Structure 1
């Protein structure tokens, strides 16, 4: 049964029925009652769009992802999948919108046209124009990540500072005395990418606490860059015996560079990091890492967003997780030939 049949039986136009359902324009009480009587008689149920219009809702949330030209890492894909799954369980659609550079028009269309009821934003910078814009619009939003002013928004995040610090302490406990941090790309870190800066802080603190020799470097999110990065580290720092990293996509290249140099993981060289669990487990050897619970965090972000949509006055909520390091196949005691060991 459709709106046309209801209009015919009610003796009104289709647009009048539509206005009665959506509340977009006033309809006389007598006409509204007549339409409602036909609806009740026919057992008509307004479709989802009509229901959403009546409630002033789209039943769609936006998910703002990194630029479309960049390949998403397994961890990022995990967050996307978890947000989509959690939204589906809540009977919500998800509109994906890339952001950054030429994609900013897409972001502006999403937030400016009210095509969505709320937004989940990924890859938050310490100073993030997207967060500023969302706060200006009043559109409910939740970050996967947080700015330098975490109190200004609701967010879920991984405690990269604590996790990289734990990685360093684990490697130091195994006798490693020269350790490198392999971060995300120089462009991301220069742009104020939160995890990159927090990893640097945790690394610097831990190596100072343990009195270690250290080096920090940035690396693009791909295997080729990981290979080049480790080749350079080995050439410039011959006493290096371990790496801590938040760059999971570069790890296979690191493995390759070490093998090319005749170094066995973990007998000659150890690697520990922060990564998606499936990714870490399926590497050869499996990566010793703090496993990021992307499915859990994505679901929590959607739950927070639904609460904000229902009640915009809901106080900001913050979820910071620091999962334990899962010991796998990439860390072992430092070789005794290390002169500082």
Structure 2
């Protein structure tokens, strides 16, 4: 039994339950009684980890996000929202801090000035200096994502290599013989951004396994870049019949470019990938994809960090998620091969 279940039964938010238990903020008498009635009924007792966390110095955790572009993607915002919500349920505040480039001073202040009891890192590179800095400082931290040396840190991540491999095999099973991977921006790929690199590895392994032709293109995190990627692919590869992607922000542009080219999804062209549910359901027709459980990942990251703060000497835990591919309407049997002008031929 946990705070979330108490909140559900009492008809309140998790943060309200947390405030009722801690007394950190006032809660209306009627609401407090309703919460207490549920607690009494369930026999709830705060666990040892939560009690240990109350001994922390700041009751604040840091959430570090290196800006990948001019704005956060919807998936990144989902991560932020879930971390903030889960932290409130544990009676913790969240200090949001960017890192990378001219933001590195902000990250260093977070680490060196005892502002937080622990840190959650997002958007991790295969070789990430922030990880080394946190380990040097002895500050508890958890990654949403992981470095190449994944045993040294505590993390939760998506199996991008395995999932992209599954999407390629799905397309091959449908008869597609030439498939493209629309990746992330050239800057992120060059920096060793974990999801992009692992997606590339899974893509290469799957096309080799199935004996089909694969093309990879970088793509900025926006609709215009997605449109330009498809336009360029169709010019260079008129026989291309499907794409898979880890770039959810590019999906609206992918859809627009295919429509402009007179290609209907999925009868003329199939699209799949790994993306947040919002993007998969907004795609037309709905996208066959592995839905990234961003909300669950943020919540689990906070739970892992609470454990690290309470017991920093315990071995780091690793959680690799592989959500099922949801078969929707954006993938279908490969069409007849197209000519350079786009018309189908037998």
TM-score w.r.t. structure 2 length?
0.81
Does the CA contact (< 8 Å) of 1:67 and 1:103 recur in 2? no
Rounded to whole Å, the distance in 1 between the matches of 2:198 and 2:334 is 26
Partner of 1:62: 62
Deviation at 1:278, TM superposition (A): 2.2
Any conservation in 1 of the 2:119–2:142 contact (CA below 8 Å)?
Answer: yes
Distance in 1 (CA, whole Å) between partners of 2:156 and 2:285 is 30
Number of the residue aligned with 1:144: 144
What SS does the aligned partner of 1:263 have? coil
- State yes or no: 1:102 paired with 2:106: no
The 3-state SS of whatever aligns with 1:61 is strand
Contact 2:125 2:147 in 1 (8 A): yes
What's 2:292 paired with? 292
Equivalent residue, structure 1, for 2:193 = 193
**Alignment correspondent of 1:243:** 243
Structure 2 Cα separation of the partners of residues 80 and 55 of structure 1: 25
Q: Deviations over 1:91-114 (max 9, x none)?
A: 100000011101111111111101
Q: How far 1:69 moved relative to its partner?
A: 5.4
Q: CA deviation at 1:215?
A: 0.6
Q: Measured at CA, do residues 151 and 80 of structure 1 come closer, stay the same or move farther in structure 2, by a change above 3 Å?
A: same
Offset, 1:75 = 1.3
- Is 1:310 paired with 2:310? yes
Q: Give the Cα–Cα distance (whole angstroms) in 2 for the partners of residues 46 and 326 of structure 1.
A: 43
Asked if the contact 1:68–1:98 (Cα under 8 Å) also holds between the matched residues in 2, the reply is: no
Give the whole-Å Cα distance in 1 for the aligned partners of 2:89 and 2:148: 32
- Listed as ranges, the matches of 1:54-93 within 5 Å are 55=55, 57-67=57-67, 70-93=70-93
Which sections of structure 2, spanning at least 5 residues, go unmatched? Answer: 1-21, 26-51, 340-344
TM-score (norm 1): 0.83
**Correspondences of 1:1-341 after superposition (within 5 Å):** 55=55, 57-67=57-67, 70-337=70-337
Does the 8 A contact of 2:86 with 2:299 survive in 1? Answer: yes
The SS at the match of 2:303 is helix
1:78 partner SS: helix
5+ residue gaps, structure 1: 1-44
Q: Distance in 2 between matches of 1:304 and 1:338?
A: 51
| Whole-angstrom CA distance in 1 between matches of 2:55 and 2:141 | 19
The 8 Å contact of residues 118 and 141 in structure 1, kept in 2 or not, is answered as yes
The 3 A distance-change label for structure 1 pair 56 and 269 is closer
Check the 8 A contact 2:274/2:291 in 1, yes or no: yes
1:141 deviates by: 0.1
State the Cα deviation string for residues 281-335 of structure 1 (Å, max 9, x = none): 1222211110011111111111110011111112100000111111112111111
Query: What is the number of residues matched between the two proteins?
Result: 293
Give per-residue Cα distances to partners, 1:243-281, cap 9 Å, x unaligned. 010000001101111111111111100010000112211
> 71-80 or 213-222: which moved more?
71-80
Q: What do the CA deviations read for 1:4-48 (whole angstroms, capped 9, x no partner)?
A: xxxxxxxxxxxxxxxxxxxxxxxxxxxxxxxxxxxxxxxxx9979
Q: Structure 1 residues 198, 47: closer, same or farther in 2, change over 3 A?
A: closer
Distance 1:179 1:110, change over 3 A: same
Cα pair 2:69 2:221 within 8 Å, conserved: no
Partner SS state of residue 152, structure 1:
coil
Structure 1 contact 143–154 (Cα < 8 Å) conserved: yes
RMSD between aligned alpha carbons? Answer: 2.0
1-structure distance, mates of 2:210, 2:159: 20
